[in-house]
Each structure stands twice: as C-alpha cells, then as structure tokens.
Amino acid sequence: MTFMQMLQAAQQRNGSMLCVGLDPDPARFPAALKGDPSRIFDFCARIVDATADLVIAFKPQIAYFAAHGAELQLDRLMRHMRSAAPHVPVILDAKRGDIGSTAEQYAKEAFERYGADAVTLSPFMGFDSVQPYLKYEGKGAFLLCRTSNPGGDDLQNQRLAGVDGQPLLYEHIARLAQGPWNLNGQLGLVVGATYPAEIERVRQLAPTLPLLIPGVGAQGGDAAATVKAGWRTDAPIVVNSSRAILYASAGDDFADAARREAQRTREQLQAARAAG
C-alpha cells in the first residue's frame, strides 16, 4: 500500500486520528530507565506496544535519537514497529530542507535507511528541495505550512507581495502542495493545533491533502476545534501528541499510563468528529 492508503486503513482499523510522537528524552524516563540513553529503544518500544491499536500513525523525531548517538536504536525501533504494528504508518519527523544531491541523501536516509513511510520537510528552499523525496513511489511527505510555535508568525503569516492576490506565505504553500507540487498525490501539510482558524483556511485551500497536526496535549491545542477545522471524510487528519502520552507517568506503569492517555485523547478526537 502507499502511505496515503496506509493512513486511511489505519484510521478505519483503529478508529483513530491520533498520532503518537516518539520524542524520547532520557532525563524524563521513569526511574528504572532515567538518564540512560542506551535505553531509548526499550522506552519507545514499550510505548509502541501499548498504543499500536489506538493510533493512525507513529512519529519518531529524529533529533531525539541523534542527540544521544542513538541512530542504531532508531533503526531497531523502526524494525520493531514494522514487526509489532505493520498496519500503522511511520512518519519520520526530520524537517529536512536542502537541494540537489544533499536532498537525495536525506531522502535515502528517510526511506532506505530507516524505512519510513513518510517524512516531514521544510519547503523554504523550493520545489527542487522536495522533488527527490517524491521519486520514492508510494511514500509521503508533509510540508511545514503553519506550525504550532509562536515564532511561526515571523515568516508564515507574512504576505507575498509578488504573488497574485498577495497570499500569506502559509496559504501559498498550501496552494502549491494541493496543486503543482503534488505530482503523484504524495504531499500533506503540517498545521499546528494551536491555530484552528489557520487549519480551517488550509483545509479550504488544500481540501484533499492529509494534515499532520501537532500541538494537542502538552502544547495546549484544542482537540475539538482541531477536528472541526480539519477533518474531512476523504482527507485524513493526523493529530499528534507526544509528551502528554510518553510521560503520562514517571513510574514503572509508564506504558499503561501512556495507553490510558492515548485512549483518552483518541476518544476525545472521535467525540469531536461525531459532534461535528
């Protein structure tokens, strides 16, 4: 299956819009693992096993592995997810953005080394920084569009004077992703849950694209507003929660607590969909 087909299938099978972000911070691990970077795989695998039937996707953030020299543990985790949860697509959160042969190497890293189903990208350097990823048939790429951090206003919310209609930058990205850049139907967009009005605007401009929506949970995004703004029958939304699930408990029951928090969030999202 293609990444887009996997998303649809996982949404239906698990009844979920929830994505669990895998951002392992050894300083926040439970007591038995705390402060030990060599246990990153152990921690993440327990979270995966506890939540695999509750999610639409998993999203490992590469920086949390690379900062601790844990790339081999990420390799191992990717293989574990393929074995334990083959029905759940994996989005490698890397936010790469470069051109030419460098972009080709980053694409190889994401799709050949790690075997990800999709990757997050920065579109700032233009289409030739995105195109190498689209050469991988069936893989997905989420372009940063309207991110959840306050500093996103510095660029994303500025008007483009030289473009017809003077759209905001994030609106222009949404139009490109829905239109000329989406050569093989592989693109999606990243839009933060902290800006539901912008989610709605992006959905107007990109009605058929999947949206990866971080910011629910520790960042305070409103789950009900997120679903109302972004969910459509034929275009999945992938609502990410990381810290609120990973660190739901500091005790030995961390995996059970993560499952309970994932269930709570999934049910909250589904209730919002039913009410919408």
Catalytic residue set:
95
> Rounded to whole angstroms, how far apart are CA atoms 64 and 252?
22
Residue 36 one-letter amino acid? D
Q: What is the DSSP string of 113-127?
A: IS--SEEEE--TT-G
| Other Cβ atoms closer than 10 A to 41 | 18
Q: Are 228 and 183 in contact (CB under 8 A)?
A: no
Closest CA to 243 of 75, 6, 78, 20: 20
Extract the tokens encoding 100.
């030419």
Please state whether 69 falls in left (phi above 0), alpha (psi between -120 and 50) or beta.
Answer: left
Q: For residue 157, how many C-alpha atoms fall within 13 Å in the half-sphere facing its CB?
A: 12
